[in-house]
Structure 1
Amino acid sequence: MAETTVRYGPSVQATSIHSTPTDVSVLNFALTLEHLETAFYSEGLTKYSDADFAAAGFKSDVRGWYQQILAHEKSHVETITAVLTQKLGAAPVSPCNYSFPLNDTKSFVTLSAAFETVGASAYTGALSMISDKEILTVAGEILSVEGRQSAWINSAPLGHNPWNGRFEIPLTMNEVFTIASTFIKSCPSSNPTLPVKPFPQLGLPGNARPGQNITLSFDQAGRTGDLFLVLFTADGPKSVSIAADKSVVLPSGDLRGTIFAIVSTEKDFADDSTTVAGPALLMIPFNENLTVV
């Protein structure tokens, strides 16, 4: 395991945290994400019927599988809440108010892939911060389910790659919250304060592909000096220099699957101390021959 951590770039960056959160903080952060996912699936399945899924070209069983995913997320909420209240004697966070860009059934399916991908990366990054072994086991159980749900969504309804590569991409709590916060409009004032702070948002074309010249959108906040677009992939980090006009040329090599893009002050490296903006999620689907589709 130690060898993997040293060899694999994203694992190193995910553990680069200046202060280690408590088990209560980590669980309440996980509960925040589970509330978000539960609200998303509840809204989508209420809004779109079996007929809507069929009209969008999805197979007849797809909505039923999504109903199972919703049941999983509700169970995760119940389990984490029980651990917080019964084992740790802590107050759990309550659901927030959310806004999801659901325009049609296809947008629901596409966004669900993003949620499950981020969820798997969130749990992967959080494992090293959990000190209690029983809680660590619970987190590992949820992580496995998040990964399986992500694999099903990408391969069945979307017809793309079920996995991204050799490793899951771990993210820090701040990185995850940067993505999640775009869907959170307000939260109860009574909620426990979480030790997280979102970074400025990073905008990039959602249909970007390897070798393309794209223009980024982010607040440079008066920073001078070189900036890099660091791309966390399942096979390790890649980076490209950002031009003065905020354009970059994406690598033309093995760039596929789920990619978390971060504007960083360091080349080939990004953590909470070097991040200027992001992460932004870029999903580049590929087929069984590793060809981008």
Structure 2
Amino acid sequence: MPIYSTKSAMRAADPADVLDVLQFALLLEHLEADFYTRGVAASGLIPTEDRTLFGTIRDHEVAHVTALQGLIAARGATPVAKPTFDYTAKGALAGFNFGATQYETFKALAMAFEDTGVRAYKGQVGRLMTEKNILNAALAIHTVEARHAAEVRRLRGKKGWITGNSRDDLPAFTQAIYDGEDTLTQAGVAIASLPNASTFGGATGGSEAFDEPLTKEQVTAIILPFLP
């Protein structure tokens, strides 16, 4: 589906709207940076062979936080503070506390957070079209989040991309992250009905080829269980 219309792209971005996007993105990055920082610091949680990977992801997320804080401060605003996150998701993952035996849950949460981040950034692009420096920064972060998502998914033995609206083996409360990913119409074109579409996997391949955007409201609902 189109991310933005030509008409909306022609309008100058509302400064308050741009700031709202930046603060929203910063909250997401606080969540990820805090999650990986705690995970890497936790004794015995991450196996030796995976520590470099998650250390690198942590460094990326911390850098994203710093970059967004700088962009917000440059606009004369105060960056949103990092809240105290609840990684049990209000009890849905009861007992999760980055313990040494909880690596599988840690990886599952990492997959959920990264898949959310990819769709969240895509959903905000249309609000930044006339703010090129902010747009470029957001797209750069988006590409890093996409690489994180693919790497974490493969580490869990999954495809590096989402198929249909499948959450794979994640808990039911994460389903909203994947709803809408089975869309088969892009820019008004029914891609599964294109000539030779079956050569590229038909409906399955069509859903795998695109990440669908999530609105701010949808993402907020997804991360709400992790907020105070």
Q: TM-score range by the shorter chain?
A: 0.5 to 0.7
Once residues 125 and 58 of structure 2 are traced to their aligned partners in structure 1, the CA distance between those partners, rounded to angstroms, is 23
Once residues 182 and 35 of structure 1 are traced to their aligned partners in structure 2, the CA distance between those partners, rounded to angstroms, is 15
SS in 2 for 1:159: coil
Paired residues of 2:86 and 2:227 also in contact (CA < 8 A): yes
Once residues 117 and 145 of structure 2 are traced to their aligned partners in structure 1, the CA distance between those partners, rounded to angstroms, is 6
Q: Which consecutive unaligned segments of at least 5 residues does structure 1 have?
A: 6-10, 13-19, 55-59, 186-293
**1:61 partnered with 2:49:** yes
**1:29 partnered with 2:24:** yes
**1:179 partnered with 2:228:** no
Amino acid at match of 1:33: L
Superposed counterparts of 1:220-231, under 5 Å: none
Amino acid at match of 1:178: A
Q: TM-score w.r.t. structure 1 length?
A: 0.52
**1:125 partnered with 2:123:** yes
Q: Which consecutive unaligned segments of at least 5 residues does structure 2 have?
A: 5-13, 89-95, 163-207
**1:138 partnered with 2:133:** no
Residues 166/120 of structure 1: CA separation in 2 closer, same or farther (3 Å cut): same
Q: What is the CA-CA distance between 1:48 and the residue it aligns to?
A: 4.2
The residue aligned with 1:85 is 73
Paired residues of 1:109 and 1:153 also in contact (CA < 8 A): yes
Once residues 90 and 53 of structure 1 are traced to their aligned partners in structure 2, the CA distance between those partners, rounded to angstroms, is 37
Q: What is the CA-CA distance between 1:47 and the residue it aligns to?
A: 2.1
Paired residues of 2:39 and 2:46 also in contact (CA < 8 A): no
Paired residues of 1:48 and 1:105 also in contact (CA < 8 A): no
Once residues 181 and 71 of structure 1 are traced to their aligned partners in structure 2, the CA distance between those partners, rounded to angstroms, is 24
The total of aligned residue pairs comes to: 162
Paired residues of 2:40 and 2:46 also in contact (CA < 8 A): no
As a proportion of its length, which structure holds more strand?
A: 1
Q: Which of these residues, 41, 53, 58, is aligned with residue 70 of structure 1? A: 58
Q: Which of these residues, 110, 113, 116, is aligned with residue 111 of structure 2? A: 113
Amino acid at match of 2:63: S
As a proportion of its length, which structure holds more helix?
A: 2
**1:96 partnered with 2:89:** no
Once residues 39 and 53 of structure 1 are traced to their aligned partners in structure 2, the CA distance between those partners, rounded to angstroms, is 15
SS in 1 for 2:46: helix
The residue aligned with 2:39 is 44
Once residues 53 and 24 of structure 1 are traced to their aligned partners in structure 2, the CA distance between those partners, rounded to angstroms, is 36
**1:149 partnered with 2:145:** no
Q: TM-score w.r.t. structure 2 length?
A: 0.67
Amino acid at match of 1:53: I
SS in 1 for 2:81: coil
SS in 2 for 1:53: coil
Paired residues of 2:114 and 2:145 also in contact (CA < 8 A): yes
SS in 1 for 2:116: helix
Q: What is the CA-CA distance between 1:46 and the residue it aligns to?
A: 2.0
Runs of 4+ in 1 over 3 A off after TM superposition: none
Superposed CA offset, 1:73-109 (max 9, x none): 10000001111112x1221101001111336111001
Amino acid at match of 2:29: E
Once residues 62 and 42 of structure 2 are traced to their aligned partners in structure 1, the CA distance between those partners, rounded to angstroms, is 18
Once residues 121 and 73 of structure 2 are traced to their aligned partners in structure 1, the CA distance between those partners, rounded to angstroms, is 20
Q: What is the CA-CA distance between 1:45 and the residue it aligns to?
A: 1.8
Q: What is the CA-CA distance between 1:115 and the residue it aligns to?
A: 0.2
SS in 2 for 1:22: helix
